[in-house]
Amino acid sequence: MPLSHYNSDGEAAMVDVSEKAASKRTAAAHAFVAMSAEVLAALPSNKKGDPLQVARVAGIMAAKKTADLIPLCHPLPLSHVGVEFSVESDGIRITATAATSAQTGVEMEALTAAAVAALTIYDMTKAMDKGIAIREIFLLSKTGGKAGDFVRA
């Protein structure tokens, strides 16, 4: 299967979606921030503020800037971006969702939201432990578009 982001001369190119009909598209992405129980316990008393609330806003803002960060992404009119957290014994699980009605999908927006939310948590907690690790960034699901739906097994 040829890569879609190259033209006939083998040069990087933005995909032309002008002939595609707009349709509802959604995506969900995952990230995990692994940290010690001590760092988790200190989250409510963080001097910089609540890391999860700041990370939620950062993830939403990042999704809206995806086309500025990823060179060949189309700017999309996002109708929804959500960032949710699950605090677990060994870290924080992040689920980011994005939705639009457009000519191309929102996978990159959901992935960007999850990644930047994870980076923000790291930034706000790194003073307590430089060993915090961001891992497991991946697409959970997507709906809409010519390629159809996807759900990670």
133-143: strand order across its sheet: 78-88, 91-102, 23-34, 133-143, 150-151
Catalytic site positions: 123
Helix (H), strand (E) at residue 92? strand 91-102
Cα separations in angstroms, 138 against 20, 111, 113, 116: 26, 7, 11, 13
